Each structure stands twice: as structure tokens, then as C-alpha cells.
Amino acid sequence: MQNEEMNLSKELEQMKLEYDSLKTRLEKQEIINEELILASIRKDLRLVNAKRIISLAGGSLALILVPIAAKDLGLSVAFVLASVAFIVYLVTGNLIRNGNMSVDTLRGEPIKRFLEEVKIRKQNQFKWFRINLCLFILWVGAFVGSCFKAGLEKESLVPVIIGIGIGALTGLVCGFKVHNKIIGIYEGIILELEKDHE
């Protein structure tokens, strides 16, 4: 009987050691898995931040070129100021909407909080894109109207309207591509985090 108890005790001790060993390995695997997920998310966020920097550079260039072009076309000071205000609005909105988001701020924080932040940013991306698209269409209309008001002759007006049409179409295509890419990145991050932390 005592022999059986000793064997049982040894078996229990062996099971406890195996359990502890397995628990340690699972914890290490979980840490490695989380690091892989964070590395993937870090790469995606770098793309979002790079797109933000590129659009900021474009906005800065527009701040220089719009007044120069408006002066050459003889457009009103009010239109130039409204255009500069619109560009500043777009640039600051971009800074606010896509502020520097980093996985490194997650250290020690719950993944759920980061997931909520990504969902909010995705919703804001949709909202801002719709607002900015409407404002852009209004700006193009105001530009064409300002050209007419400035009294540009038909020979001068046609190339300007063709140029603004090409520029507007290029801007819309690029805007849609960037918007869809950022939404895709946010959706990928959301799926990754929801899948691994349900």
C-alpha cells in the first residue's frame, strides 16, 4: 500500500513538473506569437505614417504653388486666402486623423484598447474622406468660377479648365487609392487583433 502511495506521489510530482514545463513553453510561445503580431502591425502602421508624410509634403507644395498660380491667373485675393485655408485644413486634419500611431505604445497596455483606437481611426478615415471630397468638389467649382470672374479669355480659360480637370482627376484617383490602402491596413490590423485576442 505504501509503495502504491509513493508511486502515486511520484506520478503526481512528475505530472506537476510536466505541467509547469508545458505552461512555461506555452507562455514563451504566446510571447513569440504576440511579438510576431506586433511586428506585422508595426510594418502596416509604418505604411500609414509614410502616406501621411507624403500627403503633408503635397500639402506643403500646394501652399506654395496655389498662390503663385492664382497670381499668374489674376484670381482674387479672397480665393487665394480661401484656398490656403482649405489646404491648411486638409493638412491639419491629416495630422489629427492619422497622428503618429505606434505599436511601441502598446507595451504593457491591453490589446483591446489598441483595437478600439484602430477602429476609431478607420471610422474617422471614412468620415474625413467624405467631407474632404465634398470640399474638394466645392473648391474646384470655386476655382472655375474665379477664373470666369477674373475675366480670362476663352483661349486662356480652356487650357486652365483642362489642367484643373486633369489635376482634379489625378488627385481623386490618388486620394481614392490612398484612402482604400489605409482602410485596408486598418481592417487587416483589426482582423489580426480580433482573431488573436477573442
CA nearest to 83, candidates 147, 176, 126, 152: 147
- Full residue range of the structural domain in which residue 107 is found: 2-196
Report mean pLDDT in 10-residue bins for the chain, 198 residues.
69 72 64 68 78 80 84 84 87 72 60 79 85 86 83 77 83 84 86 72
CA nearest to 135, candidates 159, 161, 168: 168
pTM, entire model? 0.67
Contact criterion met (CB below 8 Å) for 144 and 161: yes
Which pLDDT belongs to residue 101? 64
Which pLDDT belongs to residue 169? 87
Which pLDDT belongs to residue 27? 62
CA atoms of 35 and 17, how far apart (whole Å): 27
Written as one letter, the residue type at 155 is E
CA distances from 119 to 73, 126, 157, 187 (A): 44, 11, 45, 8
Domain count, the chain: 1
